[in-house]
Structures are given as structure tokens and as C-alpha cells.
Amino acid sequence: MEWLLIVKLICAHLLSDFVLQPNAWVQSRTEHKIRSKALYYHIGVTVFTAALLTGFSDWVPVIIICITHYLIDLWKAYQPNTRIYFFADQVLHLLVITAIGIWYPTNQWDAIIAQISQLDTPRIWVAGTVLLFLTQPAGIIIGKLIEPWRREVDDQAETLKNAGIWIGTLERCLIFCFVLNQQYEIIGWLLAAKSILRFKETFAPKRTEYLLIGSLLSVGVAIILGVAVKALP
């Protein structure tokens, strides 16, 4: 199994499907289906990121990604916008990437690039991919998981636009880095400071529970992935 190729393609997928895909593209695909221009823009970005992270050295995996990603996203465009189909879409993409890593042998260019670049190591690729996942992708997935409780929360409180997204992203990335450097006490101080700042939320029980679920998921994912990456040889 070419698992380094799998990691690179997963990293490319996280970039193209989460970081570089505006919400407007997703809405356009949902509304206009196969006629959506945004669908084809997204496939173009998907092809470019896959080719870029594999070093433009082998186009067969990129072509496979292009065709399968288009078919999966087109299928999803005709399905209800629910959590089940969101996760089904992501699982299908990951299955394709895993299949490529298992059955498709990488050419010699990948090995040559790995020898030339000191940064092109499995540990750095895994850490970089996990760090990328902890930004927008993890936030979107956590949002989907706690979506059923969102309508029960009173959102009338004044908040900065997208502040929660940035707080969660920074929190996960910082905790991940602290775990890699064995700075566990700093994680405790960070969570304590966050709890103090949100003390006022305790006067709204439902909102408090909603924020607590999201925060624990966010912190838990960062810690688990940090421990997993640290355990790599």
C-alpha cells in the first residue's frame, strides 16, 4: 500500500473540498445540479490540488480522482441536504483515495522527490494533513454532528461574524501543537481561560450545553489526533 500517496491525496481532498470551496459553490450545485458552473469550478480545483501535492509526476491517480469526484458530487447534488448524505459523500471520496493507494503503484518520480526534499517525509505529511483537517474540515464535521441541537439554542445573543469558527479552528490547531510538544499543562490553562470567558453562558442552560458539546468534540478531536501523530515512528 502506498500510504504516503494516500495521505497526499487526502490532504488535497481537504483543501479542495473544504478550504477552497466557497459555500456559494455548494449552494449552486444543490440548486442547479449538473448545470451548475460551480460544480466544474470545484472539479478543476480538485484536479489542480491533487496534481500539485503529488508533484505533477503522475497523472493517472489525478484523472481517477477527477472522474470519481465528479460522479460522487453529481450524485450528492441530487440527494437531500442531510448529514447522512454529507458523510456518505466524504466516505466515498476517502474509499476512492484508499483504493488508489492500494492498487496503483507510484512511479519512480515520487521516490526521487522524497529523497531530494527533506520535508517530504511521512511524518510531516501526516502532521500537515491532520493540521489542515483541524481547520475548516473538522469545524464543518463537528457542526454537522451537533446540528440537531442548533435550532433549540437561542441565537439572539450578539456575536462577531464567524467568531466561533475562528475560535474553534485556533483552539484545535493550538491544542494539536501543544500535544505534539507535550505541553499538556498549557492545554489545561487554555480550557480554563475559555471557561472563565464563557461564564456568562451558564445563565442560558440550552446554549451552555450546546457550546459544551461542540467544545468537547473540538478539543477531543485535537487531542486524539495529536496523540496519534505523536505515536508515529
What are the pLDDT digits (tens) for 128-182?
A: 899 999 998 998 999 888 888 877 775 555 566 677 788 888 889 999 999 988 8
pTM (predicted TM-score): 0.69
User: Of 45, 77, 50, nearest to 63 (Cα)?
Assistant: 50
Kindly tell me if the per-residue pLDDT of 36 is higher than 70: yes
What are the pLDDT digits (tens) for 103-120?
A: 876 554 455 455 545 556
Q: Kindly report the number of other CB atoms within 10 A of residue 77's CB atom.
A: 20
Backbone angles phi, psi at 181, to 5 degrees: -100, 10
